[in-house]
Structure 1
């Protein structure tokens, strides 16, 4: 998932640059764009994860024993595809 990859990139850059930056014209402190981007991409990745989970749960041909998208079942499924 591209959203997850970009989210992870933002999370790696935030500690390097910090949470605040300097506005180019006013010189006032502003939040760096990576923070808002990270939050947006994190939400997108979570939505995609739940969509994949729901499709797998509904179309499963055997009895489904998992209870939440965070179960190892989803991770095993995604690892099997790569």
Structure 2
């Protein structure tokens, strides 16, 4: 693993520990991702606020949608999940 990857992993682990271990601050951590696989487009999120919760969304085939639309869909799901957790 190169030094940039090690630094990124160290930062990720620090943020994760802060979010998961410090419940008093009510830090919300939501990961979003999108992908295209064998001509199908999708998005997903994972939330770590109250255990691991995930959601997935299928956007159709690559002739119906794009990975860019899936990225926006993932961001939309992450924002909605964060708003839900804040309530």
TM-score, length-normalised on structure 2?
Answer: 0.29
TM-score, length-normalised on structure 1?
Answer: 0.30
- The structure having more radius of gyration, on CA atoms, is 1
More strand by share: 2
More helix by share: 1
